[in-house]
Structure 1
Amino acid sequence: MLHYFALGTIRGDDGAAVLDIGLRRELFVDGTLITKFAGKAELRLHHPVPQEVVLDCDRPWEGNSVNYNTVFQDGDRYRMYYRGSHGNYVPYVPDNRPNHPDVYCYAESSDGIRWTRPNLGLVEFNGSKENNIILKGVGAHAFSPFKDSRPDCQPDAKYKALGVGYAKKHGLYAFQSPDGIRWTLISPEPVITEGAFDSQNLAFWDGKRGEYRAYSRHFRKGRDIQTCTSKDFIKWSTPQFVDYDSWDKSAAKSDDLEANSRPGRVSQFYTNQIMPYHRAPHLLLGFPTRYIDRGWSASARALPRYDYRLRRGLTSRREGTAITDGMLIASRDGQRFRVWADSFLRPGLRSRASWFYGDAYQAWGLVETKSAFEDGPLELSLYATERNHQEVGGTVLRRYTIRMDGFVSLRAPLAGGEATTKPLRFAGSQLRINFASSAAGDVRVEIQDESGRPIPGYSMNQCDDIYGDDLDRTVTWNGSADVRQLAGQTVRLRLALEDADVFSFRFVE
């Protein structure tokens, strides 16, 4: 039996839920923090910005079906794991390479931008070991490594993975590695057996809850996500489907958020890409691939390469009519996820090999990388597929960037808007916000008591105007930032914005 709970939730004197946030960073990704909006304030989903192509999968062992990819930072090294796979969706095409069994490949980088394929000499392909392949056979259809952050993790199991494919028994197999490159099976038997698993299935150590958590593919009215937990990575609980509340585009335009939050996953999820967000690990963020088949419509005929869609659709209609893009989901307990119904990552304005089934698959992982601006702060990078399942050439992986915590903001135009948080308790002596404004815009913050009355010294009129663009700006009232006298008390934050976004906030010592 799985047990789920909201981290840091306590009860006030009147029975209302109080969020005990301590010193942790809070984001607006799930709607939990806000209880009331006024004016034109809303929660706004933001979108990553496309950057350069970081990998062109043109090696013989790679191909046009390079999905189920993983990226993470490991000290001063960035690691990437990606599937080498090729499929001839249209036969008898000149210059097309032959199909080959799936393998898993490894690339690395010192900055997350420029990637290299080390010659590992581990796995033979077409008679040679001169390649960057780390795995073939069992597990090589979808292989998802992670660095185990469990405090007592043994050195020979410093890296772990779940893998599926090319095995006699159905299920997910557990792997371990001392270096992230040389992998062995932990058990000859699959460790999770209930599920479809025909996608990327993943696991990680959840330090906030003290357990391994896995998310995998199963079917429930289409492609869906299930989860289970383990204390040792071998014995897993019975998988359960996750629950959803979708975030309607009009949700933030009402005083009652819950009235606009309707259950349902909105679309089928081909992948899940769920992970603890490293800057706020009590939050789980997921970047699933939306899968939708819209048929042979007039728009399908207007999408790039209609002739190729027709040929792909001869063997299976969905090969010609299904389309994919990237989404964002968020959870505080690992079981119930808030779904942003609008797309986080669209296929984009490309005129040839885009808007196909297999496009815009987001890799599992977020990493911090340097800004394109010489004096800019670090930003987040994520990676997604392009040119997938085309008859000539290989998949490419493109890097995208987004500001720190920049997935969702509390936003208002110049006409102004306000939002009030639920009751909360904090530790520390200063309040800091991650925000951006225009030259004419600003942010102000009022600290209220539990009943909603301004606390003397921290009213809206006493807050100094905050404008600019900063990841960690200190809030002041009449020139003072000191809030330590309020630490441990039940308070609310009232935020007023004009042509500004607030992405996150935290209290610090």
Structure 2
Amino acid sequence: MKHSVSGCLLAAVLLTACVRADNPIDIGSRRELFVDNHILKHMDGVRLKLHTPQDAGKAFVLDRPWEGLGGYPTVIHYGGKFQLFYRGKTGLTNAGNPDETTCYAESTDGIHWSRPNLRLFKVHGTRKNNVILDNTFAPVCHNFAPFVDTRPGVPANQRYKALGGTFPVEWRKEPDSGGLMALVSPDGIHWKYLATKPVIDKSLHPARNCDTCQSSVFWSQHEQCYVCYVRVWKNFGKERLRPGFTGDTRWIGRTTSPDFINWKPIRFMEYTPDAFPDQLYLPNTQPYVRAPHIYVAVTARLSDHRLVITPEQAKALSVPKDAWRDTSDAIFMTSRGGFRYDRPFMSSFLRPGPGSQNWVTRCTFPVQGIVRTGPNELSFYVERDNAQPTEHIRRYTLRLDGFASVHAPYQGGEASTRSLRFQGSRLRINFATSAAGWIRCEVQDASGKPIPGFELRNCREMAGDHIDRTVTWRTSSDLSRISGQTVRLRFVMKDADLYALQFSK
């Protein structure tokens, strides 16, 4: 092996410039995940590996009369309770149709869900339901996107916020209509409008086409502003489109706001690497709960007009007309703020899987929200059997921080970081090895020379499967004498995966 212009935008530009020059990256005591190359400088015999979520079974079945063809669900974990928000829709009607409602379920563990009898609105002839927004809120119910506002000082009666609304299909003929409305709530159940007009309207869109899918919105601790990702349409020209693609491509745009009311013009996101554009149907982007400076996007990739099942199979599934003429899967990206996604993994994160029922329109659409459902477990949810009588939401799991890793094969390899500056006295890592595998770590100075006492030969070999293992050199793990200095980390590995690292006290 060989040895080897807003405050939000300004922060992202400075961070990018820092990395490109390989100046020290000040990670302080925050957790860093190996989902991109942000802190990695050199890899020899190892690679970044995207991990496959594990199917944990059905989580929630949409079988009430007012639910029907649901869509755009969101899962939130707050105050010891898991909350599920989703659209109720009785048929394949146009976006924003009055038959749409917003429904609510809750759970104590994120696994077993129940519908509270809220009795807020009369729907389908009864108040015994779990509807939190009825059709008087149309078209907000079509793509309702709630979140918990973690901004310091937010009023208790505005702890929950949401965006929702649609743009008319013929919006160019109606320049002053449509847009995303802002709503607030103290508990996620009782909602009211925050403003009487849309806070994001067509005047903020960067392209000729607006759209009506669910947005991703949150308060960013990292950027100190509200961030909203929206679906936009972008024209790449024929030379950039895959065979069979025509016209505009579904894309993702971003806007920010200091107060949730006044939003900046939407800008197109950029992608690294800059490959052929996929049809990205949903933003589904949020801060990762254990590293909020990293935004994780598990989003839907639509293969538009791609026929996989036959008309006979569609009929057997009771799929409505034209609801089987495309397919989709889920892909994985990240962002660290600003207008760029990192997408080192071009392959799918979650495939449709076996069975013709998984190859119809808008199936394998990820639910917005990735939550912790156990000491070592993350859960995210996916819409399955879309446009079918068996439509349901399915749960998938990953290990904590386990989206991706630095992976070493049996033959071994090593990875070195860029120059880092940290605060703390311990280095903790999240890793897993085989019975024959191991990991060792060396701490180097800014020039790449081993720091005495922290050489590779002095590092105690680490094997096993640990979420939070302290690295030890001989008999000590104390790094306090070099805290605040510029260092590099060198990991030598065999048959192992390194998911994350963090310096701490």
Work out whether residues 426 and 471 of structure 2, in 8 Å CA contact, stay in contact via their aligned partners in 1: yes
TM score, norm. by length of structure 2? 0.87
Give the whole-Å Cα distance in 1 for the aligned partners of 2:17 and 2:62: 53
Distance 1:115 1:122 in 2: 20
Whole-Å Cα distance in 1 between the matches of residues 180 and 491 of structure 2?
A: 47
Distance 2:16 2:339 in 1: 19
**Aligned pair in 2 of structure 1 residues 238, 88: CA closer, same or farther (>3 Å)?**
closer
Report the counterpart of residue 125 of structure 2 in structure 1.
127
| 2:371 counterpart (362, 367, 370) | 367
The 8 Å contact of residues 329 and 350 in structure 2, kept in 1 or not, is answered as yes
Aligned counterpart for 2:185 among listed residues 165, 172, 177? 177
Q: Does 1:5 align with 2:11?
A: yes
Aligned counterpart, 1:36? 42
In the TM superposition, what is the alpha-carbon distance from 1:305 to its structure 2 partner?
2.2
**What SS is found at the alignment partner of 1:485?**
helix
Aligned position for 1:426: 422
**Structure 2 partner of 1:240:** 267
Confirm whether residue 162 of structure 1 aligns to residue 163 of structure 2: yes
Q: Deviations over 1:67-101 (max 9, x none)?
A: 21110111111111011113259xxxxxxxxx971
Among 178, 189, 198, which residue is 2:197 paired with?
189
SS of equivalent to 1:287? strand
Following superposition of structure 1 onto structure 2, how do residues 344-383 of structure 1 map, counting pairs within 5 Å?
Answer: 344-349=349-354, 351-370=355-374, 377-383=375-381
Structure 1 residue 489 displacement after superposition: 1.2
Residues 382 and 119 of structure 1, relative CA distance in 2, 3 Å threshold: same
Q: What is the alpha-carbon distance in structure 1 between the residues aligned to residue 15 and residue 212 of structure 2?
A: 36
Q: Give the distance between the partners of 1:446 and 1:495, measured in 2 at CA.
A: 7
Going from structure 1 to structure 2, the CA distance change for 1:15 and 1:367 (only over 3 Å counts) comes to closer
Q: Specify which of 455, 471, 475 is matched with residue 467 of structure 2.
A: 471
Between the aligned partners of 1:367 and 1:218, the Cα distance in structure 2 is 27
Q: Tell me, what secondary structure is at the counterpart of 2:120?
A: coil
SS in 1 for 2:366: coil
Q: Name the amino acid aligned to 1:466.
A: M
Match of 1:280 in 2: 291
Partner of 2:23: 17
Q: Could you tell me whether the CA contact under 8 Å between 1:309 and 1:320 is conserved in 2?
A: no
Asked if the contact 2:280–2:302 (Cα under 8 Å) also holds between the matched residues in 1, the reply is: yes
| Partner SS for 2:346 | strand
Residues 1:446 and 1:11: Cα distance change in structure 2 (over 3 Å): farther
- Deviations along 1:338-393, whole A, 9 cap, x unmatched? 123111111122x24111221111111111113xxxxxx33111111101012xx1
* Deviation for aligned residue 1:302: 7.3
Letter of the aligned partner of 1:127 in structure 2? G
Does 2:263 correspond to 1:267?
no
* Matches of 2:285 and 2:251, distance apart in 1: 13
| Number of aligned residue pairs | 465
Q: Tell me the residue number matched to 1:486.
A: 482
Structure 1 residue 320, shift from structure 2 partner: 3.1
Give the AA of the match of 2:266: P
SS at match of 1:69: strand
Letter in 2 for 1:434: N
Amino acid at match of 1:134: I
* Structure 1 residues 45 and 303: CA distance shift in structure 2, 3 A: farther
Q: SS at the partner of 1:398?
A: strand
Give the CA RMSD over aligned residues. Answer: 2.4
Q: Supply the distance in 2 between the matched residues of 1:389 and 1:74 (Cα, whole angstroms).
A: 30
Please name the residue that 1:111 is paired with. 109
2:300 alignment partner, one of 278, 284, 289: 289
Partner Cα separation in structure 2 for residue 269 and residue 457 of structure 1: 49
Residue in 2 that maps onto 1:259: none
CA distance in 2, matches of 1:271, 1:329: 12
Quote how far apart the aligned CAs of 1:51 are.
Answer: 0.7
How far apart are the structure 2 equivalents of 1:15 and 1:212?
29
> 2:243 matched to which residue of 1?
none
When residues 379 and 15 of structure 1 are mapped into structure 2, their CA distance, relative to the original with a 3 A threshold, is closer
Aligned partner of residue 437 in structure 1, secondary structure: strand
Answer whether contact 1:201 1:215 (CA < 8 A) is retained. Answer: yes
> 1:171 touches 1:197 (CA, 8 Å); kept in 2?
no
Partners of 1:266 and 1:441 in 2: CA distance: 38
The aligned counterpart of 1:60 is 65
Q: Is the 8 A contact 1:304 1:352 kept in 2?
A: no
Structure 1 position 502 matched with structure 2 position 503: no
- Indicate yes or no: 2:343 matched with 1:332: no
**Deviation of 1:451 (Å):** 1.6
CA distance in 2, matches of 1:440, 1:480: 25
Distance verdict in 2 for CA 1:71–1:11, change over 3 Å = closer
1:173-202 C-alpha deviation (Å, 9 max, x unpaired): 000011110111111100001342321113
CA distance in structure 2 between the partners assigned to 1:291 and 1:148 by the alignment: 30
On the 8 A contact 1:367/1:381 being kept in 2, the answer is yes
1:203 aligns with 217
Structure 1 residue runs of 5 or longer lacking an equivalent are 90-98, 246-261, 371-376
Q: What is the alpha-carbon distance in structure 2 between the residues aligned to residue 180 and residue 293 of structure 1?
A: 34
Shift of 1:37: 1.0
3-state SS in 2 of match to 1:263: coil
Please identify, of 197-206 and 51-60, the stretch whose mean Cα deviation from structure 2 is larger: 197-206
Tell me which amino acid in the other structure corresponds to 1:29.
Answer: V
Asked if the contact 1:379/1:401 (under 8 Å) is kept, the reply is yes
CA distance, structure 1, for counterparts of residue 479 and residue 361 of structure 2: 52
- 1:69-148 to structure 2, matched below 5 A, reads 69-88=73-92, 101-136=99-134, 137-138=137-138, 139-148=140-149
Code of the residue aligned with 2:179 in structure 1: it is G
> Deviation digits for residues 319-342 of structure 1, max 9, x if unmatched?
433111111110112421112311
What are structure 2's unaligned runs of at least 5 residues? Answer: 169-175, 236-248
Question: TM-score by structure 1 length?
Answer: 0.87
Of all paired residues, the percent bearing the same amino acid is 40
Residues 1:212 and 2:226 are matched in the alignment: yes
Partner residue in 2 for 1:95: none
Q: Distance in 1 between matches of 2:165 and 2:403?
A: 31
